[in-house]
Amino acid sequence: MTGIRATVCGILIAVRAGCFASKMAQLCREEGNELFRRGMYRAAVDKYTEGIALERDNAKLYSNRALCYRKLQKPEQALSDAERALELDPKSVKARYYFGLCLREAGRHSEAVPELRRAYALCEDSTLEYGKFTEEVYATLCEAERELWDKRAGQRLAELEDLTTFAHAAIKKYTSSVKSKERTNAAESGEKLIACLFREKSQWQTSEVPEYYCCSITMAVMRDPVIVSSGHTFERSAILEHIESHGPTCPITRKPIDKAKIVPNLALKSAIDDFLRQNSWAYME
């Protein structure tokens, strides 16, 4: 019995010690948060580090320390902490967002964009109200999508320019060394090749967003298009703000609209999502 009692006592002591350590880690996080709000980032890092020493599987401590490292312009440490936070809590919206944000700032856009998309999806699917944070996530996603497009477009346009120059030189050299009939055929084939290269170049160059994909209030591409009783479609947040400020009237027809009859325009949302997947440059339009 003595051995069993000793074992039980040891477990109770360990549990109490663990609870005490967790409470102390929570206190460190709260103190670190206050230091962060006051702009004392180095002191906040020290406080979060103290908390991590007490509770090494606390994802929030790593997330918060990652933010401090960003403020201190230490991207490698920020990325490491953000990644660790995500490992500890894969469903954390903020851990996912900070990880994507750190990847973007490290210039790793092809990895950052999927992470930011997941963070935004978590915001949208969550039962919690993230409010302005959701807008911050979406804005960062838009910027990262556009930067990734610009990077890829720049690389591909440079390649196409080199190919066009090479094709012109090769065609000129070949046609000057063959007979008249062969020269004509070669010239025609060369013109087709050059035309193909120009068509691809035009696909990589910024075009225009279809007007009906944009909200007539915000003039931006719609994320959550809804149809009002007048038959017109608007961005949900924009039309709700309009109703709050100007009353339940359609901004276009000025006719009364029923707030209870605002419904999602799912077909248009699907079309916009497809368009954005193929034209990342449009995220910032």
221, 223, 228, 232 alpha-carbon torsion, rounded to 10°:
20
pLDDT recorded at residue 35: 95
- Among 82-91, 113-122, 172-181, 192-201, whose mean pLDDT is lowest? 172-181
Query: CA 78 from chain center: how many Å?
Result: 18
Mean pLDDT of 31-48: 94
Q: How many Å apart are CA 222 and CA 237, to the nearest integer? A: 10
Token code pair at residue 128: 């919690």
Alpha-helical runs (H) found in the chain: 2-37, 41-54, 59-71, 75-88, 93-105, 109-125, 132-175, 180-204, 236-246, 266-278
Amino acid present at 118: R
Burial class, 221, CB count within 10 angstroms (exposed 0-12 / middle 13-18 / buried 19+): buried
Residues 230, 222 contacting (CB under 8 angstroms): no
Token code pair at residue 167: 């094709």
- Among 113-117, 198-202, 248-252, whose mean pLDDT is lowest? 198-202
Residues 257, 234 contacting (CB under 8 angstroms): no
pLDDT recorded at residue 230: 84
- Among 37-46, 138-147, 163-172, 209-218, whose mean pLDDT is lowest? 163-172
116-166 tens-digit pLDDT: 999 988 887 776 666 678 888 888 888 888 888 888 888 888 888 888 888
> Which residue, among 222, 232, 227, 226, has the nearest Cα to 253 in the 3D structure?
232
- Predicted confidence band at 8 (pLDDT cuts at 50, 70, 90)? very low
Who wins on pLDDT, 97 or 281?
97
Three-state DSSP class for residue 279:
coil
Average model confidence (pLDDT) across the chain: 83
pLDDT recorded at residue 206: 61
Q: In what order do the strands lie in the sheet with 233-235?
A: 233-235, 225-227, 263-264
pLDDT recorded at residue 229: 86
> Which residue, among 71, 73, 83, 24, has the nearest Cα to 44 in the 3D structure?
71
Token code pair at residue 242: 């309009």
Three-state DSSP class for residue 130:
coil
Q: How many Å apart are CA 80 and CA 282, to the nearest integer? A: 31
pLDDT recorded at residue 172: 77
- What backbone phi and psi angles, to 5 degrees, belong to 57? -110, 25
Answer whether residue 178 shows pLDDT above 80. no
pLDDT recorded at residue 12: 35
Amino acid present at 154: G
> Which residue, among 141, 143, 138, has the nearest Cα to 124 in the 3D structure?
138
61, 66, 67, 68 alpha-carbon torsion, rounded to 10°:
90
72-114 tens-digit pLDDT: 999 899 999 999 999 999 988 889 999 999 999 889 999 999 9
Q: How many Å apart are CA 1 and CA 120, to the nearest integer? A: 56
